[in-house]
Structure 1
């Protein structure tokens, strides 16, 4: 994922359940005799879905949705009586599993949150897990299911909660086709709130970091506020680019907390781009380099992605960024 180009769009895919691919059943070697005990005109007969009319399929779906809703509400009614379970006015149920530090921030609906979570059906079947993927999820809190939008606002950074989400606050009768979640399924999520981000918080943290960083040995600051450190110098006859040049680079990008969000090294190949088509911190900074140089850049939000960040993450609004850049060639 190349985050440098101004035109890059990063779509959030939070809490969406991927449909499982169905294997090709293939052709049997011996075709069995057709059954003789099924009346194809009998609507109650054991017909495959392909042979049912649209009205029959809709009726089957509605029957399943009705049965699931009754089972979900029975589960939630019983669960509400358990010790430690709290119920909000909307019907959302939650348990506090672990409390974080007292100074942890609580989000509002417009904040960007970073979480780890495991989602299961009421029978314990796991349908999604950031822990299984080995990477925390980040998303705007007002762009997920209502049970999450409401529930995570009850938490503070470092808290772990278990949410029991009624169908009306989850996917209702319309879950993603082919996924593990059925119509009107109640869902259970174990959620750890790792970080709350918003433009004001991030700008405050970015400014504090850059002010301290500017005083460190080897750090130079330009008039725009871009900070850089020379890590390796290339040959004396290496070319330096102009803004209109195309450059070939290797790079790694991290957030202030060390989280890597992009890396050509991880992809195993350099990247080429016109230098005037990337974020302002790169356009300015790479022109300070010569072929063979390796610099570390500390980029203020105004020279990176500003108040918007990258939609859905991984870069939040007003985040300062750190890049290690190796200028391979000027084209």
Structure 2
């Protein structure tokens, strides 16, 4: 699973001149019809000029152009050259932030649905090239709509769960999951006092993202703070250790900084902390 050029797609086609756009529409229409006929596709055309093929309509939630979704895909040109591809686990995205052909096309499917989108340039990148995509290109996508979400928080909850479980498997961690969605790894339980969610503690830590890029760390002698004044993942996670304990907290965004993020932490980010509970401070 990955984020790709479509997540940050900018509607560069908007700068096309009227004549250039008209030429592309006519040329793209011919190219799509020829492709459909050559490959014997049962394609439907929308009022915008998008063509789509429904292999499986799906049976779950129906997407709309304003949905948050997880979809897998392979994108290629009419000559078969592949310019981008997700893995089978798909990508998580908001359809208002992708090219218009995707936003419209995905809405023809329900969860579990699959098929093709044949997208003319005026619904993609117009007269501007984008990476290995030449200006004026028809884009073809084999797509599968995996999941439709009610809102961005639901999307991030699913995305974070996938990221955390993948990280645990890849790093062979012995992690426990709580009802809230927090994962924790106890490497050394510790032998001293065990804190509560209202304790003041001294903790040394290193915080990093799922790609192991560090965003914050303390000195080896740690910092002191009230557990009621930190992110929920820490308030819940630190009390699983006793003084002297060490381990990891793998924290989904709804137990950290949510969909907005803060500072160097982007919205929806999964956070991982290596922690050492040095002391439970007495009142």
TM category (shorter chain) comes to 0.5 to 0.7
**Partner of residue 282 from structure 1, selected from 233, 238, 245:** 233
The equivalent of 2:217 in structure 1 is: 272
1:305: how far off? Answer: 4.2
**Partner of residue 55 from structure 2, selected from 97, 114, 128:** 97
| Match status 1:173 vs 2:127 | yes
Tell me the TM-score normalised to structure 1 length.
0.54
The equivalent of 2:32 in structure 1 is: 76
Q: How many residues end up aligned between the 2 structures?
A: 237
Over 3 Å counting, the alpha-carbon distance change for 1:86 and 1:310 in structure 2 is farther
**Secondary structure of residue in 1 paired with 2:147:** strand
The equivalent of 1:327 in structure 2 is: 275
**Contact 2:247–2:276 under 8 Å retained in 1:** no
**Secondary structure of residue in 1 paired with 2:73:** strand
The equivalent of 1:235 in structure 2 is: 190
Give me the whole-angstrom Cα distance separating, in 2, the residues matched to 1:219 and 1:163: 39
C-alpha deviations, 1:191-210, integer Å up to 9, x for none? Answer: 1111112339939x99xxxx
The equivalent of 1:88 in structure 2 is: 46
Give me the whole-angstrom Cα distance separating, in 2, the residues matched to 1:329 and 1:149: 47
**Secondary structure of residue in 2 paired with 1:248:** strand
Over 3 Å counting, the alpha-carbon distance change for 1:144 and 1:300 in structure 2 is closer
Bigger-Rg structure (1/2): 1
The equivalent of 1:247 in structure 2 is: 204
**Contact 2:71–2:90 under 8 Å retained in 1:** yes
**Runs of 5+ unmatched residues, structure 1:** 1-11, 18-62, 207-217, 252-261
Give me the whole-angstrom Cα distance separating, in 1, the residues matched to 2:216 and 2:107: 40
1:115: how far off? Answer: 1.3
1:294: how far off? Answer: 4.5
Q: CA RMSD in A?
A: 4.9
1:327: how far off? Answer: 2.7
**Partner of residue 110 from structure 1, selected from 26, 45, 66:** 66
The equivalent of 1:127 in structure 2 is: 83
The equivalent of 1:30 in structure 2 is: none
Bigger fraction of residues in strand = 2
**Contact 2:67–2:149 under 8 Å retained in 1:** yes
1:76: how far off? Answer: 2.0
C-alpha deviations, 1:171-218, integer Å up to 9, x for none? Answer: 111232xx2211111110111111112339939x99xxxxxxxxxxx9
Over 3 Å counting, the alpha-carbon distance change for 1:72 and 1:115 in structure 2 is same
The equivalent of 1:15 in structure 2 is: 6
Give me the whole-angstrom Cα distance separating, in 1, the residues matched to 2:71 and 2:146: 5
Give me the whole-angstrom Cα distance separating, in 2, the residues matched to 1:79 and 1:110: 29
**Contact 1:281–1:299 under 8 Å retained in 2:** no
After superposition, residues 299-314 of structure 1 pair within 5 angstroms as 301=254, 303-306=255-258, 308=259
